[in-house]
Amino acid sequence: MFECPISPPCSDLLGPYDARLLDRLTVDVERALPALGAHNGLDASEAGERNGVLVLGRVNYRAPQPLVVHVRSDAGADPGEIRRRLGSAAAAPLLVLCPAGARQRVVRVLDSAAFMDDVVDDFGLWRLHEGLDALDPGYRARRVSATVDDLDALFDDLTLEVQHERARSFGAWLNGVPIPGFATSKKRFRQLWKLVDARLESGGHGWVKGADLGLDEHNRALDELRGLFVEVSVDDYAGKDLRQVIVTRKGHGAMRLNLRPERIRRRGTPPA
């Protein structure tokens, strides 16, 4: 059976279906590739098919800004062959998605090309940060040691979900782990919702004036809001590092969520 990998599915029409039906489906590649790239936060202006290699787009938010491509088994793990097929598009570092096979997330780097399985996460996104980390091994160390307002040090490996359905039903989850403080303080939850709105609806820049949140970059309220993320233990991050999920723009009185927009999910209606 085939089932949509995105949870929840973006349409009730998506599975489960008998896998044999897939043989009858056709895909408009020229339209599908840019959509797939954009869904994963890529600059999809270069998307298209190049001699059997599917170009999905470019990572423009993290060095070394690799071109993301998908190869079938006939291209193998040969960077030279892939670059030959790409032609003029092959000069940049590559992040190569391969058919998952054994479904093991093992990343290999050969000749400035990171090879990884094309498995998606619970958001229906490729785990591109794993390939990016392989191309830039020092990134996570810099991420942990970065100053609190380093705008280039993104939490591109974290997901955030916020939900508000009824007056007394609201909450937030970081990588699926509940953040207790946002479930008990409606005021702090409203502030978080506004930050989420800005990150999702402003072309991705996400900046919000602190005055619109009842905050400024120097007051205790901002420290308290950031401190709610310290209550969560996720992956390899120590609590103190998660304060940097909210960054400020010094001298502008503005702040934003330091997460990738495609890794933020919002459910329900805005809190009153």
Is residue 164 domain-shared with residue 124, that is, in the same domain? no
- The answer to whether residues 26 and 42 touch, using CB atoms and an 8 Å cutoff, is no
Three-class DSSP category at 121: coil
**pLDDT, position 75:** 54
Establish if 5 belongs to a structural domain: no
Domain hosting residue 92, numbered range: 19-137
**Which of 137, 166, 199 represents a domain boundary (last residue)?**
137
Give 5: exposed, middle or buried? Use CB within 10 Å, 0-12, 13-18, 19+.
Answer: middle
Establish if 73 belongs to a structural domain: yes
**pLDDT, position 154:** 85
User: pTM of the predicted model, to two decimals?
Assistant: 0.82
**pLDDT, position 100:** 72
pLDDT of 4 higher than 80: no
**pLDDT, position 1:** 39
Q: DSSP per residue over 160-185, as a string?
A: EEEEEEETTEEEEEETTEE-HHHHH-
Structure tokens at 24: 């009858």
Least reliable range by pLDDT among 9-13, 53-57, 161-165, 219-223: 9-13
Is residue 131 domain-shared with residue 157, that is, in the same domain? no
* Residue 247, strand partner residues: 256
**Which of 114, 137, 160 represents a domain boundary (last residue)?**
137
